[in-house]
């Protein structure tokens, strides 16, 4: 029985083999650890918050607009009161007099400013990024080829370039707009857009390396480029608009939530407006100030104030991870995804066949085959060869340069189908079993048996010979990236199925699918199969996400509910997708799903919290308003509802208003960061979040209002 050396503990992988497309610019820190408040952003945010008080801006947010109107009214009441007009206008200053009205009025204004501040802070981060991007764009002069001739060049600002123009770019030039390479060959640095510092090769006639992005810089040589984007429509333009939030439109979900909030606001408006005559009937007339205070505390101001900040911050979280979503709608859709369609190669596996074990022939010591395999691959620069060296090193075998002096490298050729090295006339080779068989004349049956078994499991066997003796077999296989299995298990818990797509034969596909733990796989898939699978899944009522980079992926990317294109991909793919990953890391789709879910959860959590808050506010304000009604007071009246034992009616109402304003500030970090996200099933998530934000929403204001009331009382304000 052949001894098997496992490499299951293999954890170091040659870096080059891992990320053909380049390293990400920024490794995302685990959520919640990154500081969210940048102090430098606070001052401009405050200025923005005040500027946003204009009714034109406020009208988009009915809840906060109502608060602003309330603030305006109380201010007018205060002015009328101070001027002594309130009697003439029939206004009751209310219990507590002008000081009370002034305090309510001030805190109402704070409430509006806090809400605008939350939005401004969320926007501020994107604005800083946008201005950096804008700098790369502005002032670029393009060298346009007149009639396509390189000897007739006309200089034009990049802002007037149209699709179809052909431009020349040379070393040191910034590429003026998006386009296709039509001639030349050059290294281009895409650092300005992707943050990736290593330049990439651009040449005409290929799928992915022929498209260039405006704003990137030619490092060496020259290119001619046919412009494909109209002015203002370039990738960079869209990116600026996105991070700046200028192109931000309310998503369907946000609109629906706004309608719900507006509906609740109308109900509370009815409650408060009709309470005025009822209170008069009960001989407990309420002043306008108190009614406005009641209205503001009841309407869902917490979520109303933070709603747009949550949306902006969600987009921002994607940008932080180098993903550009073309619309907020796409981010939300990511949260809804049921099925992930993933390419095997490059997404689930490294895409290169890598050494996983060495199987020695009977009677051969394990060290012998490992050393032979190592020797045969020392000069081999293919990913396979490197992986053999890495695995051998891991098993404790290495070779010093001295041992290699005078060695002659035998590269792989199509005729011999083997490679290796010759040293002192002794050839150490590795190659396809049949090829080695030819050299050897007769392959030992034990080795052939092992080789057949490996092939049967979807792997690739390479036979190793040293000095004419067959030593054993190297098992090469497509390696699943570390951590994928756990991620798929995570997705399964969230109710998301993964489907692996591969061109491999069913046997290989099955092996990889089992190893990676995907739910389903499609073997021998052709590019056009993707769109068919997406349509099938959609017809069964599922939402599908996929990644892609080639032009032939474009229809599927467009058909998918969430399509994420790689930045290294073609323009066609990027156009069709609703997201672009600047790091070109397909596994990031999983992060995008998490961000989408987190965005929706944050909205839901704050909505629930906001509505649950109302219970405590009633216990603060109703006894304050109706402690004396129908002439009944004391223990016979509604004072028994004052379960928080608040000091006075005025302090109770003011405490509720202050709590209402401060809770917005307190929740800004949560709105920007998003609620803690855990990959759980919906039932577990709901139980957890209902407990925290539902029950917490009922309890928190009781404590908060009581504390504020105590502080007011200590400060002598009651």
Partner 1 sequence: MTAIGAVQLVVYLLILAAIVRPLGAYLARVFTGERLLLSSVLGPVERGIYRVSGVDAAAEMRWTTYAVAMLLFNCCGVVLLYALQRLQHGLSLNPMDLDNVAPRLAFNTAVSFVTNTNWQAYAGESTVSYLTQMAGLTVQNFVSAATGLAIAIALVRGFARHSARQIGNFWVDLVRGTLYVLLPISVIGCIVLVALGVPQTLHGSVTATGLTGARQLIVVGPVASQEVIKELGTNGGGFFNANSAHPFENPTPLSNLLEMVLILAIPAALTYTFGKMVGNTRQGWAIFATMAILFVVGVLVATVAEQHGNDLFRALHIDQTASHLSAGGNMEGKEVRFGINSSALFAVITTVASCGAVNAMHDSFTPLGGLIPLANIGLGEVIFGGVGAGLYGILLYAVAAIFIAGLMVGRTPEYLGKKIEPYDVKMTMLALLILPLVILGFAGVTVITRTGLASVLNPGPHGLSEILYAFTSGVGNNGSAFAGLSANTPFYDLTMGIAMLAGRFLMIVPILALAGSLAAKKRLTATAGTFPTTGPLWVGLLAGVILIVGAVTYVPAYSLGPIVEQRQMTTGVTFDASTFGTTPYQAVPQAPASVP
Contact call for residue 559 and partner 1 (CB under 8 A): no
Instruction: Phi first, then psi: give them for residue 497, nearest 5 degrees.
Output: -95, 145
Among 132, 198, 255, 514, binds partner 1 (CB under 8 A): 255
Contact call for residue 601 and partner 1 (CB under 8 A): yes
Among 109, 114, 488, 693, binds partner 1 (CB under 8 A): 693
CA distances from 573 to 249, 310, 549, 704, 706 (A): 23, 29, 6, 52, 57
The span of 142-150, 282-290, 528-536, 703-711 binding partner 1 (CB under 8 A) equals: 282-290
Query: Would residue 31 show up in a list of annotated catalytic residues for this protein?
Result: no
**Dihedral-angle region of residue 49 (phi above 0 means left; psi in -120 to 50 means alpha; beta otherwise):** alpha
Least distance (Å) between residue 643 CB and partner 1: 13
Contact call for residue 273 and partner 1 (CB under 8 A): yes
The span of 119-127, 190-198, 261-269, 519-527 binding partner 1 (CB under 8 A) equals: 261-269
Contact call for residue 615 and partner 1 (CB under 8 A): yes
Q: Indicate the residue among 133 and 641 with the shorter CB distance to partner 1.
A: 641
Contact call for residue 694 and partner 1 (CB under 8 A): yes
Q: Indicate the residue among 311 and 569 with the shorter CB distance to partner 1.
A: 311
Query: For 469-472, which contacts have Cβ atoms below 8 Å and span 24 or more sequence positions?
Result: 470/361, 470/436, 470/440, 470/443, 470/444, 471/360, 471/361, 471/364, 471/368, 471/369, 471/372, 472/2, 472/358, 472/359, 472/360, 472/361, 472/364, 472/369, 472/447
The span of 24-32, 65-73, 102-110, 256-264 binding partner 1 (CB under 8 A) equals: 256-264
Contact call for residue 643 and partner 1 (CB under 8 A): no
Least distance (Å) between residue 102 CB and partner 1: 26
Contact call for residue 259 and partner 1 (CB under 8 A): yes
Token pair, residue 551, equals 């032009």
Contact call for residue 607 and partner 1 (CB under 8 A): yes
Among 123, 173, 217, 332, binds partner 1 (CB under 8 A): 332
Least distance (Å) between residue 695 CB and partner 1: 10
In the region spanning residues 467 to 506, those forming contacts with partner 1, defined by CB under 8 A, are 492-497
Q: Tokens 């650092």 sit at which residue?
A: 191
Q: Indicate the residue among 81 and 332 with the shorter CB distance to partner 1.
A: 332
Contact call for residue 43 and partner 1 (CB under 8 A): no
Contact call for residue 656 and partner 1 (CB under 8 A): no
Least distance (Å) between residue 59 CB and partner 1: 18
Residue 528's Cβ-count burial label (10 Å; 0-12, 13-18, 19+) is exposed
In three-state secondary structure terms, 214 is coil
The span of 39-47, 407-415, 452-460, 634-642 binding partner 1 (CB under 8 A) equals: 634-642
Alpha helices (H) in 540-628, listed in sequence order: 554-559, 571-576, 588-626
Q: Indicate the residue among 106 and 690 with the shorter CB distance to partner 1.
A: 690
Least distance (Å) between residue 435 CB and partner 1: 49
Residue 226's Cβ-count burial label (10 Å; 0-12, 13-18, 19+) is middle
In the region spanning residues 662 to 691, those forming contacts with partner 1, defined by CB under 8 A, are 677, 681-683, 685-687, 689-690
Contact call for residue 278 and partner 1 (CB under 8 A): yes
In the region spanning residues 291 to 310, those forming contacts with partner 1, defined by CB under 8 A, are 298
d(CA 620, CA 158): 62
Contact call for residue 542 and partner 1 (CB under 8 A): yes
Number of residues in contact with partner 1 under rule CB under 8 A: 81
Tell which residue, 398, 389, 379, 399, has the closest CA to residue 355. Answer: 389
Among 283, 381, 398, 469, binds partner 1 (CB under 8 A): 283
8 A C-beta contact, residue 238 and residue 574: no
Least distance (Å) between residue 24 CB and partner 1: 24
Token pair, residue 525, equals 């898939």
The span of 36-44, 169-177, 405-413, 596-604 binding partner 1 (CB under 8 A) equals: 596-604
Least distance (Å) between residue 291 CB and partner 1: 11
Q: Pseudo-torsion of CA 249, 251, 255, 261, nearest 10°?
A: -100
Residue 478's Cβ-count burial label (10 Å; 0-12, 13-18, 19+) is buried
Token pair, residue 655, equals 């405490």
Q: Indicate the residue among 63 and 175 with the shorter CB distance to partner 1.
A: 63
Q: Indicate the residue among 139 and 252 with the shorter CB distance to partner 1.
A: 252
Q: Indicate the residue among 423 and 641 with the shorter CB distance to partner 1.
A: 641
d(CA 239, CA 242): 5
Among 205, 252, 362, 483, binds partner 1 (CB under 8 A): 252
8 A C-beta contact, residue 349 and residue 516: yes
Cβ contacts of 24 within 8 Å, gap of 6 or more = 322, 583, 585
Least distance (Å) between residue 639 CB and partner 1: 9
In three-state secondary structure terms, 100 is helix
Least distance (Å) between residue 510 CB and partner 1: 24
Tell me which of 48, 173, 178, 343 is the catalytic residue: 343
- Per-position x/- string for 562-591, each x denoting binding to partner 1 as judged by CB under 8 A, each - no binding: ------------------------------
Least distance (Å) between residue 567 CB and partner 1: 27
d(CA 148, CA 150): 6
d(CA 432, CA 461): 7
Q: Indicate the residue among 353 and 597 with the shorter CB distance to partner 1.
A: 597
Q: What is the DSSP letter of 28?
A: P
Give bridge partners of residue 469 from the DSSP assignment.
Answer: 466
The span of 153-161, 262-270, 341-349, 415-423 binding partner 1 (CB under 8 A) equals: 262-270
**Dihedral-angle region of residue 598 (phi above 0 means left; psi in -120 to 50 means alpha; beta otherwise):** alpha
Least distance (Å) between residue 344 CB and partner 1: 23
Among 504, 591, 614, 709, binds partner 1 (CB under 8 A): 614
Contact call for residue 263 and partner 1 (CB under 8 A): yes
Residue 36's Cβ-count burial label (10 Å; 0-12, 13-18, 19+) is middle
Edge-to-edge strand list for the sheet holding 418-423 = 349-360, 469-480, 460-466, 426-432, 418-423, 408-410
The span of 236-244, 370-378, 501-509, 598-606 binding partner 1 (CB under 8 A) equals: 598-606
Token pair, residue 460, equals 């690739």
Token pair, residue 112, equals 């509006």
Alpha helices (H) in 83-190, listed in sequence order: 86-89, 97-137
Contact call for residue 629 and partner 1 (CB under 8 A): yes
Least distance (Å) between residue 269 CB and partner 1: 10
Q: Indicate the residue among 605 and 664 with the shorter CB distance to partner 1.
A: 605
Tell which residue, 495, 472, 506, 482, has the closest CA to residue 371. Answer: 472
The span of 63-71, 96-104, 395-403, 540-548 binding partner 1 (CB under 8 A) equals: 540-548
Contact call for residue 638 and partner 1 (CB under 8 A): yes
Q: Indicate the residue among 192 and 675 with the shorter CB distance to partner 1.
A: 675
In three-state secondary structure terms, 267 is helix
Contact call for residue 525 and partner 1 (CB under 8 A): no
Q: Pseudo-torsion of CA 485, 490, 495, 498, nearest 10°?
A: -30
Compute CA 445 distance to the chain's CA centroid, rounded to the nearest angstrom. Answer: 53
Among 126, 199, 335, 548, binds partner 1 (CB under 8 A): 335
**Residues with catalytic function:** 343
């Amino acid at each position: 029985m052949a001894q098997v050396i496992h490499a299951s503990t293999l954890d170091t992988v040659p870096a080059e083999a891992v990320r053909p497309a380049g390293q990400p610019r920024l490794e995302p820190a685990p959520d919640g650890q990154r500081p969210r408040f940048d102090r430098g952003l606070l001052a401009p945010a405050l200025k923005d918050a005040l500027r946003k008080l204009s009714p034109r801006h406020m009208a988009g947010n009915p809840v906060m607009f109502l608060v602003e109107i309330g603030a305006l009214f109380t201010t007018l009441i205060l002015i009328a009161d101070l001027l002594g007009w309130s009697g003439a206008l029939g206004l009751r200053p209310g219990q507590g007099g002008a000081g009370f009205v002034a305090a309510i009025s001030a805190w109402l204004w704070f409430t509006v400013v806090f809400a605008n501040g939350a939005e401004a802070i969320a926007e501020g981060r994107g604005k800083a990024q946008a201005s950096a991007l804008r700098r790369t764009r502005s002032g670029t002069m393009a060298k346009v080829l007149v009639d396509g001739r390189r000897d007739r060049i006309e200089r034009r600002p990049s802002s007037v370039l149209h699709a179809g123009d052909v431009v020349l770019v040379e070393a040191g030039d910034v590429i003026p707009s998006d386009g296709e390479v039509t001639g030349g060959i050059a290294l281009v640095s895409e650092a300005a857009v992707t943050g990736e510092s290593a330049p990439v090769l651009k040449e005409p006639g290929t799928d992915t390396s022929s498209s260039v992005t405006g704003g990137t810089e030619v490092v060496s040589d020259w290119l001619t480029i046919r412009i494909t984007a109209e002015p203002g429509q370039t990738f960079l333009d869209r990116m600026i608009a996105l991070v700046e939030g200028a192109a931000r439109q309310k998503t369907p979900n946000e609109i629906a939530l706004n309608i719900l909030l507006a509906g609740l606001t109308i109900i509370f408006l009815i409650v408060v407006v009709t309470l005025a005559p009822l209170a008069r009937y009960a001989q407990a007339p309420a002043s306008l100030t108190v009614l406005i205070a009641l209205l503001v505390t009841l309407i869902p101001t917490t979520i109303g104030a933070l709603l747009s900040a949550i949306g902006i911050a969600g987009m921002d979280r994607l940008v932080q991870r180098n993903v550009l979503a073309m619309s907020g709608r796409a981010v939300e859709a990511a949260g809804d995804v049921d099925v992930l369609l993933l390419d095997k190669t490059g997404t689930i596996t490294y895409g290169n066949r890598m050494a996983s074990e060495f199987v020695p022939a009977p009677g051969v010591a394990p060290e012998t085959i490992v050393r032979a395999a190592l020797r045969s691959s020392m000069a081999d620069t293919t990913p396979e060869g490197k992986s053999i060296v890495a695995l051998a090193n891991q098993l404790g075998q290495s070779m010093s340069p001295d041992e290699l002096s005078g060695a002659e490298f035998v590269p792989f050729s199509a005729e011999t189908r083997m490679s290796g090295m010759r040293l002192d006339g002794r050839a150490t080779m590795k190659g396809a079993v049949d090829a080695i068989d030819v050299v050897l004349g007769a392959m030992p049956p034990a080795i052939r048996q092992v080789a057949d078994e490996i092939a049967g499991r979807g792997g690739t066997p390479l036979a190793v010979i040293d000095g004419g003796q067959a030593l054993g077999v190297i098992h090469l296989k497509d390696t699943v990236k570390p951590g994928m299995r756990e991620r798929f298990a995570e997705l399964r818990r969230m109710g998301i199925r993964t489907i692996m797509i591969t061109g491999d034969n069913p046997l290989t596909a099955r092996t990889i699918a089992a190893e990676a733990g995907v739910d389903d796989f499609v073997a021998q898939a052709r590019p056009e199969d993707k769109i068919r699978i997406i349509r099938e899944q959609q017809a069964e009522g599922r939402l599908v996400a996929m990644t892609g980079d080639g032009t032939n992926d474009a229809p599927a990317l467009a058909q998918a509910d969430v399509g994420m294109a790689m930045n290294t991909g073609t323009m066609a793919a990027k156009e069709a997708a609703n997201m672009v990953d600047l790091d070109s890391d397909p596994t990031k789709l999983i992060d995008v799903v998490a961000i989408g879910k987190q965005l929706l959860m944050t909205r839901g959590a704050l909505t629930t919290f906001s509505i649950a808050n109302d219970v405590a506010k009633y216990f603060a304000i109703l006894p304050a308003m109706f402690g004396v009604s129908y002439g009944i007071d004391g223990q016979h009246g509604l004072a028994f509802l004052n379960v928080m034992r608040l000091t006075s009616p005025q302090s109770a109402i003011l405490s509720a208003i202050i709590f209402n304003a401060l809770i917005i500030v307190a929740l800004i970090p949560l709105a920007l960061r998003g609620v803690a996200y855990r990959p759980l099933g919906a039932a577990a998530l709901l139980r957890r979040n209902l407990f925290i934000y539902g029950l917490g929403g009922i309890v928190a204001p009781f404590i908060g209002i009581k504390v504020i009331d105590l502080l007011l009382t200590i400060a002598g304000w009651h």
